[in-house]
Amino acid sequence: MLARMRQMIVKEFIQVFRDKRTRFILIIPPMIQMLVFGYAANYEVHHIPTVVLDYDHSQESRELISRFQSSPYFDVEPQADDSRQIGRLIETGKATVGIEIHAGFAQELRKGQAASLQVIVDATNSNSALLAAGYVSQIALHFAQDVQRDRIYRIAPQLVAVMPTVRLEPRPWYNPNLLSRWFFIPGIIGSLTLVLVITLTSFGVVREREIGTLEQIMVTPIRPAEFILSKTLPFFLIGILDVSLIALVGSLWFQVPFRGNIAVLFAGAVLFLLCMLGVGLLISTISSTQQQALVTSFFFMMPAVTFSGFGFPISTMPQWMQLMTYANPLRYFLIVLRGTYLKGVGMDILWPQMAAMAGLGLGLLSVAILRFRKSLD
């Protein structure tokens, strides 16, 4: 048995690294996706194109404008001449935020009255619009607090020392600088592993059937169980190698800290790979050609990544979609990845995710092996 399996495993590794398409899938897509998500995927918004219209032309209005100019979040363009120009700049995409300071702004502040400030935000991209509006609110709030403190100092300086204030001191845990890269990089390990293992497993079996070598292999003394194990074991080892390489690049190149136990990480990776091998075998049983396997793999992979919490919070999805995510192994693996990377938690916290992946993996592999044996017969 071991001799027959060894020959099949050696043959499979030779086939994998000899085929140009397979070598391309193993090297180029992971590198591209790693660079894209590592550098381009970012929830942080900086250098927002901003146009200002100042009808007041006072010291106070210039002080407020200077705060936007000195902020790293806004790139303030030359001031507009009228409101219609702000609208045109936003319509053409040359500006994302428009700020209009009406006449009498400084006079209202000096009287102790509320001075209004009109802010127009291009909400075509709702995420950027929300962040931009939040940055504007912070700058306006700090400006109002400074104006109020200066006014009290002029009217009753003795009250400044005893005036109560509330100061917010945020303490973000696990990601102190709120870097999106620390959120995305661990997720890339799961998404790339999913794509590679499913693609290789489904293509590897379908290729044998498409070129006619599957029938030749089955007339040899090898048993169906040995054939299935020999076909999946190389892809399992390749998946472990991919997890190791991507995790190493994430830690060394992108400087994402790893605070957990490496054994817990690889325990989760093993369970996740078993799930993906089951999915790949299932796809191979319903596909006759590599083109069919590609389409079927794409049909599974896109929803799996979307419903995993990789880029979109599961809590924001409709309730019935949230229930669907419990059948997605990638959901649990991402929790394991981010828990071990950023939080440093161990098996005492992550055992529910491990148990869920073990159950899904056992079910998927059982169904896939039964269907695959039937297709071989």
Q: Which of 128, 159, 190 is the last residue of a domain?
A: 159
Residue of 132, 106, 272, 131 lying closest to 189 (CA atoms): 272
Instruction: Please check whether residues 301 and 346 belong to one and the same domain.
Output: yes
Question: Does a structural domain hold residue 170?
Answer: no
Q: Which pLDDT belongs to residue 357? A: 94
CATH number at residue 145: 3.40.1710.10
Same domain for 38 and 137, yes or no, is no
Q: What is the β-pairing status of strands 97-101 and 74-76?
A: unpaired
Same domain, 136 and 250: no
Considering the domain boundaries, does residue 175 fall inside one? no
C-alpha 198/C-alpha 200 separation (Å) is 6
Question: Whole-model pTM?
Answer: 0.80
* pLDDT of the residue at 174: 87
Q: How many domains, in total, are found in the chain?
A: 2
Same domain, 133 and 278: no
Rounded to 5 degrees, φ, ψ at 253 are: -85, -50
The pLDDT, as a whole number, for residue 12 is 67
Show the domain range for 279. Answer: 2-42+181-376
Same-domain check for residues 28 and 73 = no
Instruction: Indicate whether 273 and 364 sit together in one domain.
Output: yes
The answer to whether residues 190 and 335 belong to one domain is yes
Decide if 42 contacts 181 (C-beta within 8 A). yes
CB 287 within 8 A of CB 296: yes
pLDDT of 352 reads 93
Residue 201 within any structural domain of the chain: yes
110 in a domain, yes or no? yes
CB 50 within 8 A of CB 80: no
Asked if residue 109 is part of any domain, the answer here is: yes
Same structural domain, 153 and 193: no
Query: What is the distance between the alpha carbons of residues 226 and 219, in angstroms, rounded to a whole number?
Result: 13
* Structural domain includes residue 254: yes
Phi and psi based region of residue 212 (left: phi greater than 0; alpha: psi -120 to 50; beta: remaining): left
On whether both 67 and 154 belong to a single domain, the answer is yes
208 and 154, same structural domain?
no
Q: What is the pLDDT of residue 350?
A: 93
Q: What is the chain's Cα-based Rg?
A: 29
Angle at 250 between CA 200 and CA 41, to 5 degrees: 85
- For residues 243 and 348, membership in a common domain is answered with yes
Q: For position 239, what pLDDT does the model report?
A: 85
Digits of tens for pLDDT over the chain (377 positions)?
566 666 666 766 676 677 677 677 777 777 777 777 777 777 778 888 999 988 888 888 889 899 998 888 898 887 888 888 888 888 888 888 999 988 888 888 887 788 888 899 998 888 888 888 889 999 988 888 888 877 777 777 666 666 777 777 888 888 888 788 888 888 888 888 888 888 888 877 777 777 666 666 666 666 666 677 777 788 888 888 888 888 888 888 888 888 889 999 999 999 999 999 888 888 887 877 778 888 888 888 888 888 888 878 888 888 888 899 999 999 999 999 999 998 989 899 999 999 999 999 999 888 887 777 655 55
Report if residue 176 sits inside a domain.
Answer: no
CA distance 204 to 178: 41
Phi, psi for 312 (deg, rounded to 5): -130, 135
Q: Is 247 contained in some domain? A: yes
CB neighbour list of residue 156: distance below 8 Å, 6 or more residues apart: none
Do 257 and 153 fall within a single domain? no
Nearest-angstrom CA–CA distance, 170 and 172: 6
Q: What is the pLDDT of residue 161?
A: 67
